[in-house]
Structure 1
């Protein structure tokens, strides 16, 4: 049943401007920027165990979120039962523990002037908003450490009636002076918690160094991952995994996963199938990631479940409250899924026929008996819609669209392409041309992705679609250093192998010119995070190629990025990822600002925990010191994603005006 949602775009944001924004474009960009800048109407969605209701986390005005409950049987407007302001509390996700009770994760960010720290807390509440209780174990003034992690549900063991879950708990030791009641345990453990009565029982004692627990979906913890620390508290690079045989409480070695600058090595477990008594996980096969299963009977017999010779198999498909493994997926030109479950394989084939214009189909949630499925379907020209499928009646109805603000907007089709790099290597990417255009003589943007351990995929992308709607051709290259194409393609990573990665990005711009899609003086580059780094560094390598640079939350100095992590436990991993050597100076655009000869527009949130705002401030300062033309737009209180509709609308409006002015449009 289609629901009437009262979701509205947010209306306020605090923006600090480094200098006055560029002049607005002559045609009205405002409505277009607002439509594309709007936050996705459904942040997260969950189906009740009986399949009659959905819980929706939706955006509110500003940067907050609301939890809404929608009755799929009676219909009508969803009712709001919980809100978070976004200043600084956020509502991250909510799932049903029974047919009438939910468990939600609340997150917040604290800034003490030196470090920006994230905190999470779990709460439980009834579907009418009543009987709200905190699930996260309480701490007190005697605690010798700060409890940032409020716990994560790893097993929804209930059938929808009892409401018990397995949830991790960070045990923090307490000062023992003057009391015999202080808690002396330390480490991550697991508790079974009744989400209705809040009765809790420790089922896995806290282990020093424990970082992960994996259950079998039936209420039994079968795998634990532990990581050592250095003498001064930094995380070691290796996680050691252990497992249990069925019915055995003893731990046996399963394998080791080493996290390094050139990519992870070793078996990375994701799930346990109790029926088959196997662990599913990912490991290398001939230089590409493949899905394996390992028998948990003492033999550790290992079998390849799915592998590709061309790309990585990188996602495990799970379904239902038990999170049972039903398939795996990979991305070639488009993301493809192979189902191991015969019934779901047949169902997926039927859905592709029923929804020919929405080939990207994902199973989001299921009722307890899996008779009702919540699914998402979309494409490059459709931001996506949520559907409820009744497998018994074979009836499917739309629940809600993901982006109602774009309902009347004609989106641009996205075409997979390849282009030749300077050394002859064929680089894959995605080309988005304005709807109705000839595809020739257009203003154009190269848009490298973030990460650098990431890749672009075929589908809807709000940022590239906005620029296409404004008349720009957009090319998103999966340069060497991207994930998804194997270890040889990843190189040492996009920072240590920056010359190769940035070379591919620059070659993307040259290809647009060579194909007549654009002309040299109408070519710009736009990037977010690592993409912002690539946008800036591209003009260090070839100062005349791009005529304007837009960098959102960019890395600008590799040593500064390293130092941002020094007070955090992951410093050693960040240090290894960035590496040491001449590439630090040569590959840092802030240290080579004198080589950048074109206008630069920077955007950054001042509560960014991924890339500190100091990176953009440094870049702006260095460019100004050498006479460069630069604007820095700071968004107060926002993090790396600039997750606020007004902020994004401002960003899109300013970026569009800046590009038009810089390209003489």
Structure 2
């Protein structure tokens, strides 16, 4: 749930239950199928501080770790990138405690160990991402949260450093205080033809003044040249991948106030011109208008998403002054919502959407054939992503995943047709005999069929067993097929897990999204409770051991389900939940997005009726709450209020609060504790 800093926070790495749309799997020790165009060769085994072989980690997990520690462990790789010449790899991994480490390894050297380039303390800064700007130098974002005048703020900086750890350089000369953050800017163009330079959005743009501008920055010397002077209401810029800024977006204020209206006006610059012309107006609060994502310099057009027949579609608009529009790809069942891009120019090569499983539609015939061949090589029900490439695109960094394997990175060489396994994403769970997650649908009370994913524990009949309904966060989100550490943990402990994409979820078009999961809470929560009833009617769930677990909006849904159907669920676990809609509105007052939040939540009887904290007396099931006190998405006051209201009504409640942790509670020790405490709490 992203409320306080609506447009800014939603772009931050919150590490929630699913950090990425794509599922991840592994094909280690699995032979390639006959007739394929590539061969899988032995992988590169990486040994270093905190980075050991997957086999060694799995063995250690089996001998020394509890299930909660195994599944609660944070991913072994947070971010990964390939050097321009394709010979070096850089990746971010968890270090001791809260620390994060940046490693680099030379792939051209046999048995080469990764070298730690630098480390972030985690108190408060973390390494967020790193990318090669030359074959010897990296540019990274460092960010975190800290308290300032009684409020929690996100902060970030962009830094450059050589792969041997030398010549560190701060590129964020200023930090812009805006929208609940102290941001040090971002990189919008890696300028692959200009050795060591980047195009960077920076506070002041290097030319002074307030707001965001654009500068070309030499990452070795720190010298810069202003490309776009700052303007206070500018939110974003889009380059064409060749160093030319072609699109900018400016927020539209609410009347004469400084509040955000929920709308952005986009401008484009015709090729060869210095003048800006109006492109579109995006009303992101009401899900209308054209949202530009990428400029195609060859076609002199911009790709973006806009609703067509009630569903998001990929559209291209000409930047030649005509603004002629072409529908590139639309789907008649679901939203088309993600671009597929590759290379250091971020070339657009396709689009993706999610049915039962995420699908890709490639515009590049070579990549389309390669994706098909790779999926075949790795076996059925596998998904692959092209993560990065060398500058000439002959070497590809690939990630593969599925529901029963947390995933691995590979290096594919187009010229030799060889694919080398590199790093596992979650090596601790690789040998845990994971359970399959299968798409199902069930009828809601009004007869509407609700899509969902059902994960049953391995080795049993899946009948009359403990079960969990686990609604997703958002509410503007959806669950997708793939590895889910929460679902897999509970399945490993003998629970059936049901993940409904209730009405109010995104991805299925405007009609399914309805009024959103707060204003339309009766429909959304009704669909969630009907998932529990279906588990019982199918004989899957033991009625006396049916529980509900949720994170963020999912936590809200768990609590409100206990209000709507107090006899259905026998236990409620809510992690970082919204609990009171009036508090949610009041918290936003004084923030730039207060008007957007006000409209999103709405007004009327649903404010009280749809707030579990205001209806705590109706809850019969015991409640277990978890929350971090640095949560910018859902203020910790929400859980504190829920605990207080439950105690006032003599209800059973346990509450655990974690200092200096944000919405995703991204700490292996804390996540393991949450899993173990919830396991001890849920009826068996």
1:401-440 matches, within 5 Å, as 401-440=424-463
Per-residue CA deviation, residues 512-541 of structure 1 (Å, 9 max, x unaligned), is 000000121110000000000000000110
Contact 2:205-2:213 at 8 Å conserved across structures = no
Deviations 1:475-496 (A, max 9, x none): 0000000000000000110011
Residues 575 and 147 (structure 1 numbering): CA distance in 2 closer, same or farther, change over 3 Å?
closer
Q: Distance in 2 between matches of 1:469 and 1:600?
A: 23
The equivalent of 2:70 in structure 1 is: 35
Structure 2 counterpart SS, 1:519: strand
Q: Is the 8 A contact 2:175 2:182 kept in 1?
A: no
SS in 2 for 1:284: strand
| Aligned-partner SS, 1:531 | helix
Paired residue for 1:474, among 470, 477, 497?
A: 497
Q: Counterpart in 1 of 2:339?
A: 316
Number of residue pairs matched? Answer: 629
- Counterparts of 1:195-344 in structure 2, within 5 Å, are 195-230=219-254, 231-260=256-285, 263-344=286-367
| Deviations, residues 314-352 of structure 1 (Å, cap 9, x unaligned) | 111111100010000000000000100011011111111
The superposition leaves residues 432-479 of structure 1 with CA deviations (integer Å, 9 ceiling, x where unpaired) of: 000112111110000000000000000000000000000000000000
The aligned residue for residue 106 of structure 2 is 71
Whether contact under 8 Å (1:525, 1:550) holds in the other structure is: yes
Shift of the 456–337 alpha-carbon distance from structure 1 to 2, 3 Å rule, reads same
- In structure 2, C-alpha distance between the alignment counterparts of 1:29 and 1:129, rounded to whole Å: 34
Task: From the superposition, tell whether residues 170 and 486 of structure 1 become closer, same or farther in structure 2 (CA, over 3 Å).
Answer: same
Coordinate RMSD, CA, aligned: 1.9
**Structure 1 residues 585 and 119, CA, compared in 2 at 3 Å: closer, same or farther?**
same
Q: Distance in 2 between matches of 1:147 and 1:551?
A: 27
Partner of 2:165 in structure 1?
129
Work out whether residues 174 and 184 of structure 2, in 8 Å CA contact, stay in contact via their aligned partners in 1.
no
Moved more, 479-488 or 28-37: 28-37
Matched, 1:457 2:480: yes
8 Å Cα contact 1:494-1:501 kept in structure 2: yes
Partner residue of 1:363 out of 386, 389, 393: 386
**Structure 1, unaligned runs of 5 or more:** 10-27, 174-182
Aligned to 2:185: 151
Where 1:236 maps in the other structure, the secondary structure is: strand
Any conservation in 2 of the 1:282–1:314 contact (CA below 8 Å)? yes
Deviation of residue 221 (structure 1)?
0.5
Cα distance, 1:572–1:139 mapped onto 2, change above 3 Å: closer
CA distance in structure 1 between the aligned counterparts of 2:395 and 2:657, rounded to whole angstroms: 45
2:666 equivalent among 628, 640, 643: 643
Distance 1:546 1:29, change over 3 A: farther
- 1:3 maps to 45
Question: 1:68-121: CA deviations, max 9, x gaps?
Answer: 112212133211111112111111110111110111101121213631111111
Give structure 2 stretches of 5+ with no counterpart: 1-42, 52-62
How high is the TM-score relative to the length of structure 1?
Answer: 0.92
Cα distance in 1 for residues equivalent to 2:380 and 2:449: 29
Kept in 2, the 8 Å contact 1:29–1:653? The answer is: no
Preserved CA contact (<8 Å) 2:192 2:345:
no
| Large movers: runs of 4+ above 3 Å | 5-9, 143-147
* Larger CA deviation: 355-364 vs 549-558: 355-364
Question: Is residue 2:210 matched to residue 1:186?
Answer: yes
Q: CA deviation digits over 1:549-587, x for unaligned, max 9?
A: 000000000121223322322222122111111111000
Tell me if structure 2 keeps the 8 A contact 1:505–1:538: yes
Q: TM-score, normalising length from structure 2? A: 0.90
